[in-house]
Amino acid sequence: MQQAQRFLKLTAWGAIGLVTLVGMGAVVIRALNGLGVTNLNFIVPWGLWVAFYIYFIGLSAGSFLMSTMVYVFGFKKLESIGRLALFSALIFLIAGMNFVLIDLGRMERFWTVFVNRNLWSVLEIEIHFYVLYIVILTLELWLLMRRDLVVCGQGNDWKARICRILAFGSKDVSDESVARDRRIVRVLGIIGLPVAIGVHGGTGALFAVVKARPMWYGPLFPIIFIVSALASGSALLTFVLAFFAGKGMAKQERDELVLLLGKITAGFLAFDLLLLWSEFSVGIYGNIPEDLEVMRLILFGPFWWVFWFVQIIFGAFVPLLIIFLPATGKNPKWVGLAGFMVVVGIIGVRLNIVIPALSIPVLPGLDEAYTMLPAPTQAFTTYPPVILTWLNRFAILAALGTFGIFGLIALRRLRGQEAYRFQRGLVSIGTAVAVLAIALFVLRWVGGTAVTTLGLGISGLDLTQTPIGGILGQTELHSFYIPSPNEWLSSAGLIGMAIIMFAVGYMVLPLESKEGH
């Protein structure tokens, strides 16, 4: 059993390492060849990398805000994950910055942002926030680990050597010194709170100030960013604590903490959904063409599944179900899984923030005015039917249907049998997903440009005239951007690097050793 587990672990890390290695190769290719390796164009100048940039900044800011709950607001229950939260904030901030770096047209000039200044630019203001934030983060983390570093530096092995270096000559292990550290941390946390809000609210403001894009423009956007950052930050901590961290804690304590974090995540997620509803309902009711087109693209465009499946079902609906259902909500493993789903689902949120808003040209006909889009991008309007031929679609529907029916039968059989609680939870969620997926396919079918993606082979039926499509408009929806292989690989490389850095840091640094508070 133990051997099998070790083998699994090795395989997993080997896979991550390999992907990271290949991905970093892609980053090198991108650095050498410039932005030509991407599928970005003048209509969609920001793509996958910017989406990941705001994703990781969100994870970072969310984690940091969770840590302020401990060190500023004195929320003692979360004490044991305070350092972990700070550390993940640091790692993911670096990951976010890496994505900005590879996204620059002239990478070698990244440092000039500190020389050539335009203080009226939100991006420049953000850069200041990032610098301030990284300083506060590092200081806080160091002060919190200081005594443990001194203690662990007393050995003679390689770990002790690293600890000694990181302790920066500090030798004081007295309780007074720890109390002093905590006072400084509190002050730093108080300063850090508005900075963290500035970091992610400001990242939202990058988009919110762009009046050229009605979907982005508006005061709600920075708030959405902060709330979704909090949701992703707390979800990340739930996931990490449930499956990896917390080895030094009592099982009881750890389980309770996971459930608590799950509840916090659910709260933020629900609030995030409310904001999403507000944004979409007002936008669709308002019926401003540029705004409505973007929303149609998100809801019914070629990438409709990113919204419905990744963002809503996988990233919000199922996690909420898991956390609130009595069968699963009391099991820390389930709640940890819910956390993981939210962390992944937020990627969909970020993608849908960046790309659809840009995919509607600012002037009608701009995309056709001059045929300058490269072949792969232009061919993209015919992309979904190739991926999802009607046979494919039929297979998916059949599989989902079978799964749903069998799930319902299995649920009936399992009813009342306490021993199979876990299985019952699994089946009920699977069934819910299958039923929802079928419902969504139907929704997609009636929703607008279904001809190209889910016509199910029925010809001669103009589905653009169907109920929802009719309400939301009837024009064909295009997307001008699909990430190139290099974009995917580079992203995988940078994400893998962040994961490895996180794991190494977790192994080496005293991120959760118990100390007297």
Partner 1 sequence: MNDTKTASKPTSLSVQESRRRFLSKFVSPVFGGLMAPAVESMEQETIMTLAEEPTTKVAASPAKATPGISPISGESSVIDQMLADLQRALEKRERGEKVRFGMAVDLRKCTGCRACTVACKAENMTPPEVSYNVVLEEEIGTYPNVRRVFMYKPCFHCENPPCTPVCPVGATYKREEDGIVVIDYDVCIGCRYCLTACPYGSRFIDLGKTYTDPPQPYESSASPEYGENRIRVEGGSPVGNARKCHFCIHRVYRGMLPACAETCIGRAIHFGDLDDPESVVARLIAERPSIRLKEELGTEPNVYYLL
Q: Which residues bind partner 1 (CB under 8 A)?
A: 33-36, 38, 40-43, 45-46, 100, 103-106, 109-110, 112-113, 116-118, 120-124, 127, 206, 209-213, 358, 361-366, 368-370, 372-374
Q: Which two tokens stand for residue 404?
A: 């749903």
CA angle (123 as vertex; 27, 53 as ends), nearest 5 = 35
Whether 69 contacts 78, CB under 8 Å:
yes
Nearer to partner 1, 33 or 402 (CB): 33
- How far, in Å, CA of 407 to CA of 435, rounded? 10
Q: Give least dist CB 51 to partner 1, A.
A: 13
Alpha helices in 312-449 (DSSP H): 318-324, 326-329, 332-359, 366-369, 375-378, 383-387, 390-414, 421-446
Nearer to partner 1, 2 or 118 (CB): 118
Q: Give least dist CB 358 to partner 1, A.
A: 6
Does the CA dihedral 122-124-126-129 come out positive or negative? Answer: negative
Whether 433 contacts 396, CB under 8 Å:
no
Nearer to partner 1, 159 or 213 (CB): 213
Chain-centroid distance, C-alpha 425? 25
Please spell the DSSP secondary structure of 57-81, one letter per residue: HHHHHHHHHHHHHHHTT--GGGGGG
Q: Give least dist CB 118 to partner 1, A.
A: 4
Q: Give least dist CB 278 to partner 1, A.
A: 23
Q: Give least dist CB 16 to partner 1, A.
A: 30
Nearer to partner 1, 355 or 429 (CB): 355
Q: Give least dist CB 186 to partner 1, A.
A: 33
- How far, in Å, CA of 334 to CA of 242, rounded? 9
Q: On the CB side of 119, how many CA atoms lie within 13 Å of its CA? A: 0
Nearer to partner 1, 51 or 70 (CB): 51
Whether 491 contacts 26, CB under 8 Å:
no
| Residue whose token pair is 């982005």 | 216
Q: Give least dist CB 120 to partner 1, A.
A: 5
- DSSP secondary structure code for residue 113 in this structure: G
- How far, in Å, CA of 56 to CA of 236, rounded? 11
Nearer to partner 1, 348 or 361 (CB): 361
Q: Give least dist CB 42 to partner 1, A.
A: 5
Nearer to partner 1, 50 or 440 (CB): 50
- Polymer length of the chain: 517
Quick one: CA torsion of 133, 137, 139, 142, rounded to 10 degrees? Answer: -170
Q: Give least dist CB 360 to partner 1, A.
A: 11
- How far, in Å, CA of 465 to CA of 452, rounded? 14
Q: On the CB side of 79, how many CA atoms lie within 13 Å of its CA? A: 11
Q: Give least dist CB 418 to partner 1, A.
A: 56
Q: Which residues, including other chains, have CB under 8 Å from residue 177's CB and lie 6 or more apart?
A: 146, 147
Q: Which two tokens stand for residue 37?
A: 């390796």
Q: Give least dist CB 41 to partner 1, A.
A: 6
CA angle (434 as vertex; 433, 440 as ends), nearest 5 = 85
Residue of 276, 278, 269, 270 lying closest to 233 (CA atoms): 269
Nearer to partner 1, 127 or 342 (CB): 127
Nearer to partner 1, 73 or 488 (CB): 488
Nearer to partner 1, 28 or 187 (CB): 28
Q: Give least dist CB 43 to partner 1, A.
A: 7
Whether 445 contacts 456, CB under 8 Å:
yes
Q: Give least dist CB 55 to partner 1, A.
A: 18
Whether 166 contacts 151, CB under 8 Å:
no
Whether 189 contacts 140, CB under 8 Å:
yes
Nearer to partner 1, 130 or 340 (CB): 130
- How far, in Å, CA of 318 to CA of 437, rounded? 12
Nearer to partner 1, 33 or 154 (CB): 33
Nearer to partner 1, 46 or 142 (CB): 46
**Burial (CB count <10 Å: 0-12, 13-18, 19+), residue 99:** buried
